[in-house]
Structure 1
Amino acid sequence: MPGPAPHRATSGGEVSSDPYGYDIERVDPNAPARIGGGRAPRRRRRPWVRWALFALSFLMLAASAVALYLFVILPLGFGTSLVAFTAALVPVAMIFAAVWWLDRYTPQPRMSLIYAFAWGAIGSVLLALFVGTFFDAWISPAEETQLVDSFLGAVVQAPVIEETMKSAGLIGLLVWGRRYISGPLDGVVYAALIAGGFAFTENILYFSQSFHQAQAAGEIAVFWQTFFLRGILSPFAHVSFTALCGLGLGIAAERRSLMLYFGLGTGGLSLGMVLHALWNGSTFFLPVDPEAPLVGFLRYYASVQVPIFLLLVAIVLFLRLREKRILRRQLSEYGRAGWFSPDEVELLVSMRRRRRAEAWAARHGAVARIGMRHLISAAIALGMERHSVLFGRTTAKSRARERELLEEITADRRLLGALTAPVVRS
């Protein structure tokens, strides 16, 4: 991996020596165009406005976290909050494991992942509590019973407000730049983290309320029933709802279409609201057997919610395999242009070979391992950026980004070659 590809490219972008023999069909008839002459443009520093907005966003989230603790968590009591927090760690750990598996192939910046979870756990919860109060008053009739109020709150107010507030975090990532959400799987990953954060805080509130009821009744079964329903049976409920909006926005970002942003984003958000309303509304329509109150819900859960969840899982697995095919195809195009050898392409598209390459580099020191990891990351970004460019018009910015990534890969090759080559020949 540390050495350059053995073949050189001609001015037309084709390999001048023996063909590589890739079995990947060429998508771009011009192949990755050879980087032309002239000096590469210097990488511009990010504008201070962007950094200021980024810092302001995190400060607002920190202030919101303090307000959420003082006005929502603290009144529950320290002991109750600690029990609820511990119980809420179980479902959020499942979500973290799923997101880690989805994101590890084309990993996203850690700071943006932290922002997504923080927005879901803090910002979206506070906005949902604040805006939901006014929305509930707006949709409530002048004379309503407690049943009507509960129904409107669960089936109308909660799906509309909660899904809108969670999706606002995805809009924020799109405003900051396409580097965060550039494809459908990216949208699903960020949506899952936002929804996981929202569910984490919501579970703390629900578990605390249930724990209070269990203490008042002197029966712990009430708490364990709530934990079973929310922590074991439905840890991915919120993730499934919000992922539909993330999927739509990710497809639009890949196509670079403003109309698709609105159409698919709104469509995914609306479908997520419908699934959310279907989930919450089940408690109002299912028959309840006093002797076995959970039987009707479990029957509904197995016949309706499980197939919906399995369908969404199948879509996510398809997107995961799709990213691998995209990366192989685009890096093979760069291989035809002389930037990678076939073995290097196989290394870059295989998680096992990536780990073996990092382990090999680690034997030569921490710097070599960092260089190998950065080379793999730059090559992944190069392939995915190239795929996105094929759907739109090639611009000076996209060409500069291509040049920047190729220069980073070249610099990493030189670093690895210097660190791994023997000092004295045998």
Structure 2
Amino acid sequence: MSSPSRPRSAGPTATGLVLAASAVLLVHLVQAQTGTTGLLVGLGLAVLPLPFVLAALTWLNQSARVPARRLALCLVWGSCAAATIAMLANGWASDTLTALQGSSRGETLGAEFASPLIEESAKGAVLLLTMAPPLRRWARAARLAPTPPARARLRHRAVATGLVLSGFSACGFAFAENVLYLGRAFTDDQRQRLDAIGLGLSPSLRDYDDTVRTFVLRALLSPFAHPLFTALTGLGLAVALTSRRRWPARLAAPLGLLAAVALHGAWNAAAGLGTHGFLLVYAALMVPCFAALTGLALWAGARPGPGVR
């Protein structure tokens, strides 16, 4: 009786070791770019929007009823493993594209195509582990009792589960990314402030303009950006795992990932359009997409049903 327990415990243990190792590596990679002070400041500022995003996802989870262990796995995966994979792969892709296409074009291709593909794939990978087993059980249950109410409950649960799990993974990723960007902005501001003092200029709050702008953009204007992107992957996977038709079952998951990459790439491209161009993309693309996602979340959370085990 003791030997079967070893394989069951080996999986969680190995997962825990991988996540712990990726967390240590991530801290080292971020600290190399921000310094210790920048890392601590980035951590403090990146935490501030986290409760609001998690509260919204927790509310939706009242419908999906995903166990806390799966939510924790997605959150830690996004903040540790996915963020580490993205930092390493983005750096390699940027160097490769710059060498092949030149500095300007290489950076553009990296930001608008390579990075979205890498990041959305890294965030969405954990969904294969956390979504597939429960949704397959639900699909089998719905086929055994193929009544319209049963199918409707399945659709609600599948959508809610896809939104919740993808949201937790993306929320963790956004937190780690915010630590990097905020810490780096603070470190740059600190250097400029020291340069200003060396020139005999009086220090002021304007010395930290870059930190403030980064915080406003990432924590106030777009705290739900990453969950919005990855939600498309979660929705595609939910449709693929619960559809009774052949082509949706085969195409929904890759199409969901491609949609997430496209929206992410459009968001990254907006950063190079200047203030007016960015605000135009924000109002014309991000706000309607977020409104549609909110409506979908309200629909998915409107009907209680079985939880995910």
**TM-score, normalization by structure 2:** 0.80
2:57 matched to 1:76? no
Task: Find the residue that maps to 1:77 and give its secondary structure.
Answer: helix
User: Displacement of 1:301 after TM fit?
Assistant: 1.7
User: Displacement of 1:136 after TM fit?
Assistant: 3.6
1:125 to 74, 83, 90: 83
Alpha-carbon RMSD: 2.7
CA deviations on 1:151-186 (whole Å, 9 max, x unpaired) are 112101111111111111111224665489961210
User: Displacement of 1:85 after TM fit?
Assistant: 0.7
User: Displacement of 1:137 after TM fit?
Assistant: 4.7
CA deviations on 1:369-413 (whole Å, 9 max, x unpaired) are xxxxxxxxxxx44xx89xxxxxxxxxxxxxxxxxxxxxxxxxxxx
2:247 matched to 1:247? no
Does the Cα contact within 8 Å between 1:160 and 1:273 map onto a contact in 2? yes
User: Displacement of 1:54 after TM fit?
Assistant: 2.0
Residue 170 of structure 1 is matched in structure 2 by: 127
2:152 matched to 1:194? no
Structure 1 CA distance for aligned equivalents of residues 107 and 212 of structure 2: 23
2:293 matched to 1:312? yes
Q: Which amino acid in 1 is paired with 2:71? A: L
User: Displacement of 1:312 after TM fit?
Assistant: 1.5
2:63 matched to 1:105? yes
Does the Cα contact within 8 Å between 1:207 and 1:226 map onto a contact in 2? yes
2:182 matched to 1:207? yes
Q: In percent, how many aligned pairs have the same letter? A: 31
Q: Which amino acid in 2 is paired with 1:200? A: F
Residue 106 of structure 2 is matched in structure 1 by: 149
User: Displacement of 1:78 after TM fit?
Assistant: 2.7
Q: Which amino acid in 2 is paired with 1:311? A: A
Structure 2 CA distance for aligned equivalents of residues 262 and 73 of structure 1: 42
2:17 to 39, 55, 59: 59
Residue 278 of structure 1 is matched in structure 2 by: 266
Task: Find the residue that maps to 1:83 and give its secondary structure.
Answer: helix
User: Displacement of 1:256 after TM fit?
Assistant: 6.9
Residue 284 of structure 2 is matched in structure 1 by: 303
Task: Find the residue that maps to 2:63 and give its secondary structure.
Answer: coil
2:253 matched to 1:265? yes
User: Displacement of 1:74 after TM fit?
Assistant: 6.0
Residue 226 of structure 1 is matched in structure 2 by: 214
Task: Find the residue that maps to 1:164 and give its secondary structure.
Answer: helix
1:89 to 33, 47, 54: 47
Structure with the bigger percentage of helix: 2
Q: Which amino acid in 1 is paired with 2:264? A: H
User: Displacement of 1:110 after TM fit?
Assistant: 0.9
Does the Cα contact within 8 Å between 1:184 and 1:248 map onto a contact in 2? no
Aligned residue-pair number: 276
Q: Name the CA shift for 1:185/1:47 in 2 (closer, same or farther; >3 Å).
A: farther
Q: Which amino acid in 2 is paired with 1:304? A: L
Residue 160 of structure 2 is matched in structure 1 by: 185
**TM-score, normalization by structure 1:** 0.59
Structure 2 CA distance for aligned equivalents of residues 222 and 180 of structure 1: 49
Q: Which amino acid in 1 is paired with 2:187? A: H
Q: Which amino acid in 2 is paired with 1:129? A: M
User: Displacement of 1:122 after TM fit?
Assistant: 0.6
Runs of 5+ in structure 1 lacking a partner?
A: 1-45, 289-293, 328-379, 386-426
Task: Find the residue that maps to 1:266 and give its secondary structure.
Answer: helix
Who wins on radius of gyration, i.e. which is larger?
1
Structure 2 CA distance for aligned equivalents of residues 217 and 306 of structure 1: 35
Structure 2 CA distance for aligned equivalents of residues 54 and 213 of structure 1: 40
Runs of 5+ in structure 2 lacking a partner?
A: 139-156, 194-206
